[in-house]
Structures are given as C-alpha cells and as structure tokens.
C-alpha cells in the first residue's frame, strides 16, 4: 500500500490543468502532464510527490473540489480501481475512469522544441498585468514583436482595425525582427515568472524559473 500527500503547489498546478483539460491521466512517477482537446496547449510539471501507479481521473474539477472537504487529505493507493482519500475521521472511495476515455489527455513524450527566435523573461507581475489588461480591454491577441529593436508584448484585437492596444517591453533577445501572434485564451499558465522561448515555427515554450513547470503553446499562423 502506498500513500501520497499532495502539496499545495501540486494542487494549484492541477487546478490550472483543469482549465486546460477536464480529464487527466497520472503516470507512475513524479511527472504530471496534460494536453488541451485542441492539442494546442501541452503542459508538464515535475512534482515533489511520486505516484505509485498509472490512474485516470475523468472529472478533475470534481476530484479537486472533493479534496477541499479535508484539512490534510492523504491519497491511499491500495486498489487497482479506486483511490481512497483519507483525512481525520473522513474518507472517500473515488473510482478511476476508464483510461480509454481519457487517453487523449495523457501525452507521454516530451516536445522537441525547435530553435528559439525570441527569448525573454516574463515576471509574475507583468504576466498578471497582461491577463488583467486582456480582460479589461477585451483584447484576445498577444503579439510578440521585435521590430522596434526590443522585445515588446502587445495585446490587441486582430479582428478590429480600431483596436485598443496594451504594450509591455520586456528583457529579452532575438535573432531577427519578427512579429508573432498567440491567442490569450491559449495562454493558461499558472501565475508565476517564466522564461519564454518563441519559434517562428509557430510554437512557444513557457518554463517557470524554478524549472518545474513548462507549457508548450501553439502560435497563430500569420
């Protein structure tokens, strides 16, 4: 019998994952991955916990909400068809889903990222400002631009000729003067500081500065 106590950080990452895909397959070990249904967002997290087996959760939102019923939930893996959630005098028998149903939410291979054309550091504060400005001004598109001789992140609406814009200049490097776009709806990263790499092959890599969490997000064709 094996038991796992989820850290607050892992629960926070899983809550973020639920916004990318409502289902998940946990693989044996300490690497937790997810992928969006459209396959344009992929995430990989290296947790402090190590899971003793593969298991699938169909409704990740429900699973995480259930953990909130406990002060310090402990996951007990003693059966092949369910996990027992323990805490104080309470317990829950939570059945796994059929892996075939959730198979699409279980990427196993690492992404081979091509060479980066743009690299920059995005602080936690600037990331929060981008998200807030996108909501306040209803700007759905993020343009990563180097044509001004520096790395600029510009929120705009590609569907409007009179779109408001919001710009943040960040510390970074680039190989050429380019302008690449990404949908803000696909930027579902947890709120922290990131080293970001962008390729003209229309893929971006967002890695937390502690190295434990990476998102691969598709860019938009021009």
pLDDT given at position 105: 62
Digit-coded pLDDT (tens) for 33-72: 999 999 999 999 999 999 999 999 999 999 999 999 998 8
Neighbours of 76 (CB within 10 A): 16
- With H, G, I as helix, E, B as strand and everything else as coil, classify residue 107: coil
pLDDT given at position 104: 67
**pTM to 2 decimals?**
0.93
CA proximity to 152, closest of 192, 190, 180, 124: 180
User: Is pLDDT above 70 for 127?
Assistant: yes
pLDDT given at position 88: 87
CA proximity to 219, closest of 211, 110, 205: 205
Digit-coded pLDDT (tens) for 72-119: 899 999 999 999 999 989 999 999 998 777 666 667 777 889 989 999
- Report yes or no: 104 and 76 within 8 Å, Cβ to Cβ: no
- Which domains are seen in the chain, by residue range? 2-105 (3.70.10.10), 118-218 (3.70.10.10)
pLDDT category at 161 given cuts 50, 70, 90 is: confident
d(CA 185, CA 188): 7
């Amino acid at each position: 019998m094996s038991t796992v106590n989820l850290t607050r950080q892992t629960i926070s990452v899983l809550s973020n994952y639920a916004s990318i895909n409502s289902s998940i397959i946990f693989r044996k070990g300490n690497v937790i991955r997810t992928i969006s249904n459209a396959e344009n967002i992929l995430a990989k997290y290296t947790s402090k916990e190590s899971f003793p087996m593969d298991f699938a959760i169909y409704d990740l939102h429900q699973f995480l909400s259930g953990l909130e019923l406990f002060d310090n939930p402990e996951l007990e893996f003693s059966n092949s068809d369910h996990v027992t959630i323990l805490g104080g005098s309470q317990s829950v028998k939570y059945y796994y889903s059929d892996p075939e149903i959730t198979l699409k939410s279980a990427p196993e291979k690492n992404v081979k990222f091509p060479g980066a054309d743009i690299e920059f550091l995005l602080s936690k504060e600037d990331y929060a400002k981008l998200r807030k400005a996108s909501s306040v001004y209803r700007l759905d598109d993020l343009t990563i631009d180097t044509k001004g001789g520096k790395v600029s992140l510009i929120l705009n609406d590609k569907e409007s000729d009179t779109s408001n814009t919001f710009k943040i200049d960040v510390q970074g490097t680039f190989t050429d003067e380019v302008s690449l776009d990404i949908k803000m709806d696909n930027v579902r990263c947890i709120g922290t500081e990131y080293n970001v790499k962008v390729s003209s092959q229309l893929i971006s890599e967002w890695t937390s500065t502690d190295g434990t969490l990476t998102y691969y997000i598709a860019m938009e064709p021009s």
